[in-house]
Amino acid sequence: MKTMKRSLLTLLALSATTFSGNLTAQEADKKAAAPKVAPKVAPKVAPKVAPKVAPKVAPKVAPKVAPKVAPKVAPKAAPKTVSPVSRAEYDKLKQELDTLKAQMQKVLAAKAQAPAAAAPAPAPPTPPSGGSGKAVVEASAPAIDSALEDRLVALEESAAMVMPGSTNSLLTGFAFAGYDNLSNQDSSFNASFSPIFLWKLGDNVFFESEAEIGLEGNETTVDLGYAQIAYIVNDYLTLGAGKFLSPSNYFGERIHPAWINKFASAPLPFGHGGLMAGSQLGIQARGGIPIGTTRATYAFYLSNGPSLNVGGDDGDAGHDVEEPGSLDFNNFGDINNNKAVGGRVGFKPIPSLDIGYGFEFASVAPSGSEFGNVDAITHSIDANYVKNSSLLLGVIDARTQLVWLDIDNPGIAPLDYGNGSRGGYGQVAYRPMEIGNDFVKSFEPVARYDWINKPGGEETTRMSFGLNYWINASTVFKASYEFGTEKDAHGSDDFTGVRIQAAIGF
């Protein structure tokens, strides 16, 4: 603003010099008084005169003035690099902007309420004869109006430069590399990478998605782990739609990432060929409700649900699976008009303990099949206890989950049999976090027992012992030894194995 005033004064002075050759004696006296009058008159006259004078004078004056003025003005006028602004600085700037807006509103309101004829404005001085005939007009708005307007505009421009965007995104995820040497399988290295994309579209709208990139056979596989858009209604309710981790499966939803799971493998009922879906395709509603010092949680969903593997003589008719009567959880296109209904209700009686009940009810037979209406009912209970114990100088992590799956018997071959399955696991880990030695407290011994029973006398039990070493809070090196027994109608086989894995969450 000051630079503009100096420029206008310069233009006026140069204008006076340009036309000085035609001045009368009386006008010469006024010219002599210009240095005293100009500073007072220019701020009032410049806004009206400059738009008319500048286009004519600037082309002639600029080439002469610019070389002298630019070196002084440029350092001040040059744009400054905008450095990152903290949230505290942004909030302070916004508060100042709001205060100025309020002051501006008060000034405008005071002007509007003032009587129209409160005080007649003094008549402008009559120009002397022979003069230019133009009167000097007094500025009508108070000086404070102009100052507030200028500062308000400047603050709005500054706020626009540092204002956070309306959306925010984050790339996170996990990855692992490992080696399995099992007596009932060929030894092999393995690796996987699962990037997770989080996108905040507003204060209440979020999007999350996980891509699972792995190796299978001689191919690289890319699967969609989940992709869900969520809307936060309030502190107690969030709505979601898309493909999401199954709420009824606590392990699958909360513990399956490699850097969270204490072992390199999933418990038998919740891994490949398990009894519960890892994800659902549909809609869900979830939230939490405080109850005194405790808290209850809930999550309910409506989804396509699993499909029944009807099988055939070749064991893969219709669903490309081996065992008739089992469930295919990758049902991206529903096979009937009935949707699965499921969820989990949890309760935290103390901060360190979370217990819950999960369920799912689904009609799993294809529409129009000879098997009619076949329902599948799943029940699951889980308990999870994590506590930093000063008595034991470390963190105790104990978890268990049991599952029951029952599928109706349609009375038609090859599904004419009692189709019930059971499974579960129990696991405990200890990390001596409060021991003074940094090397020792990075170790975490862990033990797990898991089992699964399927129709036809199939039963697998397994015991695993492991030792984990935590490089940092989300990077772990795991080594475990396992042994167990596999039984079926033809007999039983014992197996042993060693698994090694490095996992990182980022």
**Predicted pLDDT of residue 492:** 92
Identify whether the C-beta of residue 414 lies closer than 8 Å to the C-beta of residue 311. yes
Count of Cβ atoms closer than 10 Å to residue 502 Cβ: 20
For residue 44, give the 3-state DSSP assignment.
Answer: helix
Pull the structure tokens for residue 212. 């699972």
Global pTM?
Answer: 0.67
pLDDT beneath 70, residues of the chain: 1-87, 111, 113-148, 155-166, 311-322
The residues that bridge with 308 in the sheet, in sequence order, are: 327
- Cα–Cα nearest to 419, from 382, 461, 375, 371: 375
- Cα–Cα nearest to 383, from 216, 193, 227, 251: 251
**Predicted pLDDT of residue 211:** 96
Please give the Cα distance from 209 to 242 (Å, whole number): 10
Q: What is the pLDDT of residues 445-477, one digit of tens each?
A: 999 999 999 988 899 999 999 999 999 999 999
